[in-house]
């Protein structure tokens, strides 16, 4: 009976050791050590009496230190993980910015290449419609050529059309100017019917002022009765794209 009583007293004393510890040591480490000591003392006292209680207290202190080390390691790992996540986010942001800049540069190169190609195309393509004497009506064989041109232009909305209408030198200036306007209107209407928007078509009339045939050259007059369709690149609208 006395033996068991002594074991109980010793165990109780060891359990309550932390209660008389220095108050300044009551931080996280002290709590872990105290918990380890108390737990070790209880287990040791139950198993082997007073000697077991002492051994158990030592083991409890070791357990508290080990637990604290694990906590520190976990905190360090969490800090490291946060740093890596931040670094990854920064790299992703830099990559996105580089990708955006690259895309803009590529688009600029494509626009410049397309602009250059359209410039060459517009300079290399033209169509002339000839008219009979005192007539503003187009011959029927001209219509398929107008339609092919319109089909081509549908793929290049940046290209504008300029109609330059002329007349031969016969007749008055007023009459030739009116006839030039009618011829330009006839070609413009044919282009619109073929699918070219009216806003892309510009008419310029010259009457007989730019006639090249000599007076009395009846065969040469046919080359003066004409509407030339010239193409140009609308750089202003192209730059907006």
Dihedral sign for Cα atoms in the order 129, 133, 137, 139: negative
Asked if 193 and 223 sit in the same domain, the reply is: yes
Written as six digits, the tokens of 51 are 């000697």
Answer yes or no: is pLDDT of 181 > 90: yes
Higher pLDDT, 100 or 203: 203
Q: What is the mean pLDDT of residues 60-83?
A: 80
Asked if 189 and 135 sit in the same domain, the reply is: yes
Q: Is residue 135 part of a domain?
A: yes
Question: What mean pLDDT, rounded, does the chain reach?
Answer: 75
Higher pLDDT, 231 or 123: 231
Q: Is residue 119 part of a domain?
A: no
Confidence class for position 25, pLDDT limits 50, 70, 90: very low
Q: Is residue 89 part of a domain?
A: yes
Confidence class for position 82, pLDDT limits 50, 70, 90: confident
Higher pLDDT, 139 or 104: 139
Q: Is residue 211 part of a domain?
A: yes
Q: Is residue 231 part of a domain?
A: yes
Asked if 129 and 106 sit in the same domain, the reply is: no
Q: Is residue 202 part of a domain?
A: yes
Phi-psi region of 137 (alpha: psi -120 to 50; beta: other; left: phi over 0): beta
Asked if 104 and 141 sit in the same domain, the reply is: no
Tokens 């207290």 locate to 57
Range of the domain at 163: 125-240
Asked if 233 and 129 sit in the same domain, the reply is: yes
Calculated CA dihedral for residues 201, 185, 166, 131, nearest 10 degrees: 120
pLDDT at res. 224: 96
pLDDT over 70, % of the chain:
59
Q: What is the pLDDT of residues 33-70, one digit of tens each?
A: 554 555 555 555 555 555 555 555 555 666 667 778 88
pTM above 0.85, yes or no: no
Q: What is the pLDDT of residues 152-168, one digit of tens each?
A: 888 888 889 999 999 99
Minimum mean pLDDT among 9-13, 87-91, 140-144: which range?
9-13
Asked if 33 and 91 sit in the same domain, the reply is: yes
Tally of domains within the chain: 2
Asked if 23 and 79 sit in the same domain, the reply is: yes
Asked if 2 and 56 sit in the same domain, the reply is: yes
pLDDT over 90, % of the chain:
37
Taking the C-alpha atoms of residue 116 and residue 156, their distance in angstroms, rounded to an integer, is 13
Q: Is residue 118 part of a domain?
A: no
Give pairs for 131-138: CB < 8 Å, separation 24+: 131/183, 131/225, 131/226, 131/227, 132/225, 133/168, 133/221, 133/225, 134/171, 134/179, 135/225, 136/179, 136/182, 136/183, 136/185, 136/186, 137/186, 138/186, 138/187, 138/190
Residue 228, Cβ density class (10 Å: 0-12 exposed, 13-18 middle, ≥19 buried): middle
pLDDT at res. 9: 43
Asked if 145 and 65 sit in the same domain, the reply is: no
pLDDT at res. 165: 98
Asked if 130 and 193 sit in the same domain, the reply is: yes
Q: What is the pLDDT of residues 186-240, one digit of tens each?
A: 999 999 999 999 999 999 999 999 999 998 899 999 999 999 999 988 755 444 4
Q: What is the mean pLDDT of residues 140-147?
A: 93
Asked if 103 and 154 sit in the same domain, the reply is: no
- Encode burial over 12-41: b for 16+ CB neighbours within 10 A, e otherwise: eebbeebeeeeeeeeeeebebbbebbbbbb
Choose the final residue of a domain: 110, 133, 162.
Answer: 110
Confidence class for position 115, pLDDT limits 50, 70, 90: low
Choose the final residue of a domain: 85, 110, 135.
Answer: 110
> What's the distance, CA 128 to chain centroid?
44
pLDDT at res. 11: 44
Q: Is residue 150 part of a domain?
A: yes
pLDDT at res. 104: 64
Minimum mean pLDDT among 29-33, 89-93, 128-132, 158-162: which range?
29-33
Asked if 13 and 51 sit in the same domain, the reply is: yes
Q: What is the CATH number of the domain that holds 179?
A: 3.30.1330.60
Q: Let me know the angle formed at the C-alpha of 204 by 201 and 210, rounded to the nearest 5 degrees.
A: 145
């Amino acid at each position: 009976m006395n033996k068991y009583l002594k074991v109980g007293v010793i165990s109780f004393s060891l359990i309550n050791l932390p209660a008389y510890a220095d108050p300044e040591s009551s931080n996280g480490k002290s709590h872990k050590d105290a918990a380890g000591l108390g737990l070790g003392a209880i287990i040791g006292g139950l198993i082997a009496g007073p000697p077991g209680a002492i051994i158990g207290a030592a083991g409890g202190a070791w357990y508290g230190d080990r637990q604290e080390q694990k906590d520190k390691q976990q905190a360090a790992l969490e800090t490291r993980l946060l740093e890596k996540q931040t670094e990854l986010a920064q790299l992703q942001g830099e990559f996105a910015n580089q990708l955006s800049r690259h895309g803009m540069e590529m688009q600029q190169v494509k626009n410049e290449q397309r602009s250059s190609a359209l410039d060459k195309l517009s300079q290399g393509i033209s169509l002339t419609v000839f008219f009979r004497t005192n007539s503003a009506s187009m011959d029927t064989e001209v219509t398929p050529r107008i339609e092919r041109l319109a089909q081509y232009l549908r793929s290049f909305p940046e290209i504008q059309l300029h109609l330059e209408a002329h007349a031969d030198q016969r007749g008055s200036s007023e009459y030739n100017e009116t006839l030039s306007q009618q011829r330009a209107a006839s070609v413009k209407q044919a282009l619109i019917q073929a699918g070219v928007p009216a806003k892309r078509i510009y008419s310029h009339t010259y009457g007989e002022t730019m006639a090249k045939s000599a007076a009395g050259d009846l065969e040469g007059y046919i080359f003066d009765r004409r509407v030339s369709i010239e193409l140009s690149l609308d750089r202003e609208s192209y730059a907006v794209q």
